[in-house]
Amino acid sequence: MKYDFESIESKWQRIWEEQGVFKSVFDENKRKYYVLVMFPYPSGKIHMGHVRNYTIGDVIARYKKMRGFNVLHPIGWDAFGLPAENAAISKGVHPAKWTYDNIETMKRQLKRLGISYDWDREITTCDPEYYKWNQWFFLKMYEKGIVYRKNSPVNWCPHCNTVLANEQVIDGKCWRCDTEVEIRNIEQWFIKITEYADRLLEDHSKLGKWPEKVILMQKNWIGKSFGVVVNFKLDDGRDFPIFTTRPDTIFGVTYMAIAPEHPLVDEIIKENPSIETEVRRMRKEDYKLRTSEEYEKEGVFTGRYVINPLTGDRVPLWIANFVLMEYGTGAIMCVPAHDERDFKFAKKYNLPIKIVIQPEGKELKPEEMREAYTEEGIMVNSSQFSGMKSSEALIKIIEYIEEKGLGRRKYNYRIKDWLISRQRYWGTPIPFVKCDKCGYVPVPYEELPVVLPKDVKFTGKGNPLESSEEFLNTKCPKCGSSAKRETDTMDTFFDSSWYYARYTSPKNDKEPFDKKESKYWLDVDQYIGGVEHAILHLLYARFFHKFMKDLGLVDSDEPFVNLLTQGMVCKKWVSMGSMLDYLSLSESSTVEELIIKISDKFKDLELKSVRDSRKIGEILDNNHLTLASNISLFFDAIGIDLPREEIVKRFEDEIGESVKMSKSKHNTVDPDDMVRKYGADSVRLFILFAAPPEKDLDWSDEGIEGAYRFLNRVWRLVVNSIDIINSVKSFNYEEIDSLSRKEKDLLTKINQTIKKVTEDIERDFSFNTAIASLMELTNTLYAFSPETEREKSIFREGIEKLIILMYVFTPHISEELWQIIGGEGLVCLKQWPEYNKNFLSYDTIEVVFQINGKVRAKAEVPVDISNAELEKLALENENIKKNLEGKTPKKIIVVPKKLVNIVL
């Protein structure tokens, strides 16, 4: 009987669905377990990263169900997003159709993998029945005073007359029309997440098992720091407040700097138009790059000065690219002697350096400094604070500043309020109208949801919502006058910040979720997703949960008890650059030279004699310099008589670099192809076995083939032994009298495996080592030749436990094999096996007795036998006595617990 994975997998998926075995039912009398993998964006097809995520979650869900838990394991779609709108513009497909078509494709793929979802709880965030509650929450936030409007900079394309997302700006230009992008300030909606900053920090202590790196990333993102706001003065007498965590260095300020986006900059440009071009260039630079240590620090002098309130010094004011409006006041004091960034900037622009902290026992001189001195030391050049330790002076200077009314101590936060506005169509409409008489007025709750119109035009210019007269024109809910609807939509992170709670009662049309059911199911016991979500999604979800608690909707402080951040799925990739380096060529080399070099490296290749004097660079796509995307171009030029995949693999083996799978690198593997070729169980097994969940996984064709071979091996083990298995019942552990060594060994291996697999899953989801132990048990069962009825019953016991333990990893083949051996019911409804503590270690071991290295006898001895006892036992053995023939041993070698070798 052949292992026909295709028919087996479709059969059991149909049975599970027909019997509803994975449906979650609210039952307060049962222990619950809520396992959730971050829901996907329906971009088209699932990739191997998805396969890994959802397989990990599925193993946990199946395991917990077998442990007696009432498991909630739902799935849905994070369905709003920019790609759908881009598709509407470029392909003329409505975002809704594009999204729902992709959902159907991905749903089919997930079902084909056999993931144990309760599909009755499926949610889709672009469904008005879902985003109605986004709008409801937004209005609640408005009522609580944490929603407001203010001006904020955006990327603006003057040709398209629209706002662009950061990813739509390429080298400072619009991705669609290549027009130079401008930075404009427009009024937008914000949520005061900063009011929750301390709770978000403090409640890290209430989390369960979260990766330390995620907690650290969140702490750094929130960025709570203690310091002082100091009231410097502009040279025209206006206040110029700055925040600093280093007031001990304030006497060393030699220049000040403001962000290119600072409100003062536009005023300065009017006075000094010559700096406008430089300022505009800095504004277009990437925010993240601007703050990195490696990025070039640049600036321009404004012509203005600032007065230091403690020294009276008049220092120059610069506009610098490393200063951001997002932190503090968008203005900083610069102390080049004691800050490395300030030091490099000062050196570049020849600004003065003033030392105010000296290391003990050493004198620094500005002209000799090669880097800033940032450690503690003794204060100098600091008025009455000179001579103090800098740590002591820091507090004294804060007290002095407050006493003199020059500033105040303050905690500052790096985190800023959540900009919720998006000038796009495909998102949740913000439920407000703008009335000329009443201003911005909230839409009444009874009129929710405000539904996205379908009569919109996707031209790539302007906001599509503004093209729908029916949507745009409305009445003011307050005064009844003609009004305009808000055309901003919500950031899609809003959708994903509370979806986990909606799963607890997804069909509820009276409230976001049922309080009683959510109290039972929440919090999420195990959340699974990528570390890249540490400081946006995970932080927003934690904030949202706290807001829901403030509304009385939930009782707990945190949404997710435990968090697993899985590693990436990687595959070897060869860039054209690395290939040319390997062949000692460049883009200016000719194709003929390429032929010679490849012939030298790969002797077995048959290269046609092709006369081609073109330069290599002429046939390269410079936007995708990858071997996989360009190798076909070289086929024509070189005439390599090999399949494309084979030549790519040769270079991968030689110089391939393991990187995350991505379409741009042409190193992806299609899950559908793998499932068709090897089956879902083989794909699952490889994904789980190749690496621990939290580590990156290197895709290997040999690995997936190995997983397939193993399942075939298990299949043959059971099918070829079916007569033995069906001739007996499972072993009764009450019948343990006078077990033979052979029987004890197999029973011990079975129970050791149960214990190992259980502990590996429970402890840290070490699926790879759990699977390795199942492979060992398989080998043991293959080597076991049952002869007596009891041996056959113990063999059946091993087969049964192997099938049940394998089920959580490879459920389809396990259900089929269980049915073949006549197992009762479905494996998915069975209890997880318990190990027998009496069979976890071997009481006896087998040792060999040798004479001059040749085995003359074997004996079963206690596992704790001493070397002396072992030697005595060997010399007393009848076979040994017989073979010694009365000779006296010259030497006796004892290898503990293994052998005794008698040397004559």
pLDDT in tens, 504-544: 999 999 999 999 999 999 999 999 999 999 989 999 999 99
Crossing angle (nearest 10°) for helices 741-764 and 789-807? 10
Model confidence at 596: pLDDT above 80: no
Token readout for 434 is 């703008």
User: What CA–CA distance (Å, rounded) separates 95 from 456?
Assistant: 11
What dihedral angle (degrees, nearest 10) is formed by the CA atoms of 485, 487, 490, 492? 140
Measured CA to CA in angstroms, residue 850 lies from 60, 404, 872, 891 at distances of 50, 94, 14, 12
CB atoms within 10 A of CB 411: 11
Any bridge partners for residue 862, and if so which?
844
Mean pLDDT over 744-749 rounds to 93
* Per-residue pLDDT, 669: 87
Please tell me the predicted confidence (pLDDT) of residue 522.
Answer: 97
Span 90-138, pLDDT tens digits: 889 999 999 999 999 999 999 999 999 999 999 999 999 999 999 999 9
Q: What is the pLDDT of residue 624?
A: 46
Quote the pLDDT of residue 863. 81
Distance CA 93, CA 354 (A): 63
Q: When comparing pLDDT for 222 and 649, which is higher?
A: 222
Confidence grade of residue 203 (pLDDT, cut at 50, 70, 90): very high
- At 454 the three-state DSSP class reads coil
Q: Can you give the pTM of this predicted structure? A: 0.86
| Separation in Å, CA 276 to CA 47, 172, 269, 301, 870 | 46, 16, 6, 11, 91
Q: What is the pLDDT of residue 104?
A: 97
Average pLDDT for the chain: 91
- Res. 607 pLDDT band, cuts 50 70 90: low
The ranges assigned to domains in the chain are: 23-127+494-568, 141-192+424-490, 225-412, 575-655, 721-839, 844-903
Strand 331-334 relative to strand 473-475: parallel, antiparallel, unpaired?
unpaired
Has domain 225-412 been given CATH number 1.20.120.420? no
Burial class (CB in 10 A: 0-12, 13-18, 19+), 122: middle
Rounded CA-CA distance 254/794 in Å is 84
Q: Which amino acid is at 374?
A: T
CATH class for the region spanning 23-127+494-568: alpha beta
Give the whole-angstrom CA distance, residue 290 versus residue 183: 16
Instruction: Kindly tell me the burial class for residue 237, based on how many C-beta atoms sit within 10 Å of its own C-beta (0-12, 13-18, 19 or more).
Output: exposed
CA 699 to chain centre: 18
Side chain identity, residue 240: F
Contact predicate 842/857, CB 8 Å: no
Quickly count: other Cβ atoms within 10 Å of residue 246's Cβ.
18
**Backbone phi and psi for residue 335, each to the nearest 5 degrees, phi listed first:** -125, 85
Three-state DSSP string of 85-103? HHHHHHHCCCHHHHHHHHH
Considering only CA atoms, which of 805, 790, 821, 709 is closest in space to residue 750? Answer: 805
Q: Measured between alpha carbons, how far is residue 212 from residues 35, 130, 216, 533, 538 in Å?
A: 21, 33, 6, 14, 14
Q: Is the pLDDT of residue 664 over 80?
A: no
Task: With H, G, I as helix, E, B as strand and everything else as coil, classify residue 357.
Answer: strand
Q: Tokens 């330790």 label which residue? A: 389
- Calculate mean pLDDT across residues 66-93: 93
What's the pLDDT tens digit per position in 28-59? Answer: 999 999 999 999 999 999 999 999 999 999 99
**Is the pLDDT score of 6 beyond 80?**
yes
* Res 622: pLDDT: 46
pLDDT of residue 184: 83
The pLDDT of residue 738 is 81
pLDDT at 613 over 70: no
Whether the pLDDT of residue 609 is over 60: the answer is no
- Record the tokens describing residue 125, joined without a space: 């965030």
Output 612 or 792, whichever has higher pLDDT: 792
Is the domain covering 844-903 a CATH 3.10.20.590 domain? yes
Q: Are 536 and 38 in contact (CB under 8 A)?
A: no
Residue 550's CB: how many other CB atoms inside 10 A? Answer: 14
Q: Determine phi and psi for 552, rounding to 5 degrees.
A: 85, 15
What's residue 406's pLDDT? 97
The model's confidence at residue 628, banded by pLDDT at 50, 70 and 90, is low
| Residue 638 C-alpha from the chain's centroid | 42
Contact 233, 333 (CB under 8 A): no
My answer on whether omega of the bond before 523 falls inside 30° of 0, hence cis, is yes
pLDDT over 90, % of the chain? 73
Yes or no: domain 721-839 corresponds to CATH 1.10.730.10: yes
Give mean pLDDT, residues 142-167: 85
b or e along 609-626 (b: 16 or more beta carbons within 10 Å of the residue's beta carbon)? eeeeeeebeebbeeeebb
Strands 421-422 and 489-490: antiparallel
